[in-house]
């Protein structure tokens, strides 16, 4: 009887790591689906605003439509490459790749699309064993899984500001896409 109990216990315990691995893998797959949908929707939003309105600000203190768009790219790069990947952060004062800096609407859309694709590829190849690693996030102790969730919230926050800018300019935003 003890042998059967011991064998059953070993089987149960040995199933935990594979179950946890499957959960992490599912999280990444679901996150990637959400990020891809977010990419497509943000591009539709960016395409909807006429280029001559890209400098529109809802209030004088607000980011412009273009600044919100490029800020999303900056945040994706920083959250994935720097926080998750350990790469040194871009220098805001000298790095112009993810700034508006006289970019046309088309150039900004291509840049944001490329940044999404780089981020998606980074997350696809991310070692899921590191999702529980902790780091300082503006003074808060967070897991790298939480960093991914914070990134999704950040994208939504700035895209929401862009949607308001569309409305304030009398434009109909693209139909909302679920799960993004």
Per-domain boundaries in the chain? 31-47+61-180
Sign of CA dihedral 153, 176, 112, 104: negative
At residue 20 the predicted structure's pLDDT band, cuts being 50, 70 and 90, is very low
Do the Cβ atoms of 145 and 130 come closer than 8 Å?
no
Do the Cβ atoms of 80 and 151 come closer than 8 Å?
yes
Tokens encoding 22:
């499957």
| Residue 94: how many other CB atoms lie within 10 Å | 6
Averaged over 78-100, what is the pLDDT?
Answer: 92
Sign of CA dihedral 160, 162, 168, 171: negative
At residue 17 the predicted structure's pLDDT band, cuts being 50, 70 and 90, is low
Task: Give the ranges where the chain is alpha helix by DSSP (H).
Answer: 2-48, 65-77, 105-124, 144-168
Q: Which has more pLDDT, 8 or 163? A: 163
Q: What's the distance, Cα to Cα, between the start and end of the chain in Å?
A: 52
Instruction: Please report, for residues 24, 83, 90, 118, the alpha-carbon distance to residue 95 in angstroms, rounded to integers and kept in the order given.
Output: 34, 18, 6, 17
Please tell us whether the domain made up of 31-47+61-180 is placed in CATH 1.20.120.450.
Answer: yes
d(C-alpha 76, C-alpha 28), whole Å: 16
pLDDT digits (tens, 9 = 90+) for 28-41: 999 999 999 999 99
At residue 25 the predicted structure's pLDDT band, cuts being 50, 70 and 90, is confident
| Residue 61: how many other CB atoms lie within 10 Å | 6
């Amino acid at each position: 009887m003890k042998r059967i109990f011991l064998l059953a216990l070993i089987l149960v315990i040995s199933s935990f790591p594979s179950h946890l691995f499957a959960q992490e893998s599912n999280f990444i797959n679901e996150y990637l689906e959400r990020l891809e949908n977010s990419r497509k929707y943000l591009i539709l939003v960016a395409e909807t605003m006429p280029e001559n309105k890209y400098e529109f600000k809802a209030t004088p203190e607000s980011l412009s439509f273009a600044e919100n768009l490029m800020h999303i790219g900056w945040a994706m790069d920083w959250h994935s490459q720097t926080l998750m990947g350990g790469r040194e952060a871009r220098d805001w004062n000298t790095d112009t790749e993810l700034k508006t800096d006289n970019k046309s609407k088309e150039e900004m859309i291509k840049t944001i699309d490329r940044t999404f694709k780089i981020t998606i590829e980074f997350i696809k190849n991310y070692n899921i064993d590191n999702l529980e690693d902790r780091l300082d996030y503006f003074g808060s102790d967070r897991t790298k899984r939480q960093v991914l969730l914070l990134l999704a919230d950040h994208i939504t926050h700035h895209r929401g500001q862009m949607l308001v800018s569309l409305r304030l300019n009398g434009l109909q935003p693209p139909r909302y896409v679920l799960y993004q």
